[in-house]
Amino acid sequence: MISKNIEKALQQQIAVEGYSSAVYLSMASWMDAEGFEGSAAFFYKQSDEERMHMLKILHFINDNDGHAIVPAIEAPPKSFKDFHSCFKSVLDQEQKVTASIHELVNTALKERDHAAHNFLQWYVSEQMEEEKQVKSILNKLKIIGKDGSGLYLLDRELGEMAANAAGGEDATA
């Protein structure tokens, strides 16, 4: 059984993960419209992953005698200045998510809720991985600058990453 404070804090995290999913879906659609097919596949995949993060919390609340409520999700930006600024926004978003996960861990410790604390460790690791991934993409973008062929190759690499993560299935489908 989870405490009311933990349930409330996890409930807020459902909205945070839901917003991430919506932002990445919007980025996927924008990349698609701009002709960056690989990046579109990458963001469709990221959006699916964020939805999975949201669902994991929803199930955790319900599996521990709570009642998860599906929240209204704020509308994401419709378009992005350019490829580079899109990835800068991803890092900002992930850093916000990391901060809210760490805040949740603090709440679990304060409430002495070991089950929630244990559950949240997966999110702590996941955030480290996600921040590392986007920082590596931003580093590549720094090298590429405004070079079109570099951008083309990075777009292709992002598409391959999405395909590998999806076990070879078409992530844009």
- For binding to ligand FEO (CB under 6 A), which residues are involved? 17, 20, 50, 53, 94, 97, 130
CB of 148 to ligand FEO, least distance (A): 29
Cβ proximity to ligand FEO: between 64 and 100 the closer is 100
CB of 60 to ligand FEO, least distance (A): 14
Cβ proximity to ligand FEO: between 104 and 151 the closer is 104
Question: Which amino acid is present at 107?
Answer: T
Q: Report the distance separating Cα 117 and Cα 9, nearest Å.
A: 12
CB of 141 to ligand FEO, least distance (A): 19
Cβ proximity to ligand FEO: between 33 and 124 the closer is 124
Cβ-closest position to ligand FEO: 53
Question: Which amino acid is present at 119?
Answer: F
Q: Report the distance separating Cα 116 and Cα 27, nearest Å.
A: 32
CB of 21 to ligand FEO, least distance (A): 8
Q: Report the distance separating Cα 110 and Cα 20, nearest Å.
A: 27
Separation in Å, CA 61 to CA 100, 122, 125, 171: 17, 15, 20, 29
